[in-house]
Amino acid sequence: MSTIARAGSPAEFLALVPHLLGCTPRRSLAVVTFSAGRSLGALRVDLPDPDAGADVESVASTVVGLACKVSRTDAIAVVVYTDDRLTDTETPHRALVDALSARADICGLRLIDALCVGSDGWDSYAAPSADGPQALTDIATVLHLPPMPEVGNDQFAAAELPPVPPSEATAVYRLLSDVEDLLSRSHRGKRLPARRRAAAAGVLDDLSDPPAVFEAFVASAAPVDVRGMAAVAFSLQRPALRDVALMQWAGDLATGDATYGAQSAYAHGSPFPEDLARPLWGEGAHPDPPRLLRALDRCRHVAAVTPLAGRAGPLAACAWLAWATGQSTHAATYAARALEVDADHGLARIVRAMADRGRLPEWVFERGPLTSPAGTGSSPGSQGR
């Protein structure tokens, strides 16, 4: 069930914005989209640097263009989050806000409010307080709003990989090493103790049906065991299997089966079906957001337990899943970390380029029924945004 919160004052609105974004932004511009007075969501971009001669007109055009793509948007509100002090100075980034206001007007969007949150207070661009910036505690002490999750971290914190027990990381490392030794038929593989040989053989048995592995990874609320994490880590290091996993998590088991079959046919010279590839570029069927978020959460765990030398694949998968859920900042962060491990990693470079250009999947801006790229019906879960 959705929580309905009504903001009757600027302070109340500022208290809600971090919950719409899922973080407390820093050095950011937040734009909240509205339809008939109800918020549809929010987007965040880095503040342009006025000292570097940033083109605020270009930034305003891009941001308002993104807002216009959100289905049914008829108004926006903007909030500038800056580390600057507001006391005794002109409200910073006014040129950006003026450009946003002008661009919104051209596009037929009403600007509901424009606010600035600084290091020492907050104020309005349209109607500055005669007494100077108002206290940040006004935002923190809005008592009558419904209880909401904690969002104290900034926009980068959620992209940190989760802590994992050293014993778990060691177990995954050993299992992946043993799998590689069995596949290469090395001397080490032949000398493996029976118990470790059986465990590695179990992973390879699972990978005889990759879509089943990928579905088990997201289908249950139960934690993924070491064997499951090793199987997924192995797959995400291999582009063909990784793409099957991503398209399946964006669709359903039937999509995974179809993509896996198409990959096998492609390896033998057949063309790859366009409909199965379109979601990789953010087009086509509407994914199930909770399914994608669960896949992202678990891929973050897989990346954390995967040895550094093989971590680029899981990190690139995290990057794509974050991008697919509209988390462009996180996507760029994961992609950059993947490229630190492998500077030529193809998917990481693609996701970073899309994030840098402000390109997001079409489904982030739309609302509609969930469909499967394989054409076999809807994926279970809630409707896409």
Q: Name the residue with higher pLDDT: 366 or 312.
A: 312
Cα–Cα distance for residue pair 264/270, rounded to 1 Å = 9
The average confidence (pLDDT) of the chain is 85
Q: Name the residue with higher pLDDT: 281 or 2.
A: 281
pLDDT of 385 reads 26
pLDDT of 70 reads 85
pLDDT of 108 reads 94
Percentage with pLDDT > 70 across the chain: 88
Long-range contacts of 136-139 (CB under 8 A, 24+ apart): 138/11, 139/11, 139/14, 139/15
Average pLDDT over residues 36-43: 85
Comparing 31-35, 120-124, 126-130, 342-346, the range with the smallest average pLDDT is 126-130
Please state, in angstroms and as integers, the Cα–Cα distance from residue 326 to each residue in 38, 232, 242, 355, following that order.
20, 23, 20, 10
Q: What pLDDT, in 10s, does the model give residues 186-201?
A: 777 678 889 999 999 9
Location of each CATH 3.40.140.10 domain in the chain: 10-155
| pLDDT higher than 50, residue 55 | yes
- Confidence band (pLDDT; 50, 70, 90) for 4? very low
- Assigned CATH for 10-155: 3.40.140.10
- Confidence band (pLDDT; 50, 70, 90) for 53? low
| pLDDT higher than 50, residue 3 | no
Q: Name the residue with higher pLDDT: 235 or 277.
A: 235
| pLDDT higher than 80, residue 315 | yes
What backbone torsions phi and psi does residue 243 show, to the nearest 5 degrees? -65, -35
Average pLDDT over residues 206-226: 94
pLDDT of 374 reads 39
pLDDT of 309 reads 94
- Confidence band (pLDDT; 50, 70, 90) for 155? low
Secondary structure of 160-210 in the HEC alphabet? CCCCCCHHHHHHHHHHHHHHHHHHHCCHHHHCCCHHHHHHHHHHHHHCCCH
| pLDDT higher than 80, residue 1 | no
Structure tokens at 345: 């990693």
pLDDT of 21 reads 83
Is the Cβ–Cβ distance between 73 and 35 less than 8 Å?
yes
Q: What pLDDT, in 10s, does the model give residues 316-338?
A: 999 999 999 988 889 999 999 99
| CA gyration radius, the chain | 23
Q: What pLDDT, in 10s, does the model give residues 65-122?
A: 989 888 889 999 999 999 998 986 788 899 999 999 999 999 999 999 999 999 989 9
pLDDT of 130 reads 79
Average pLDDT over residues 331-359: 93
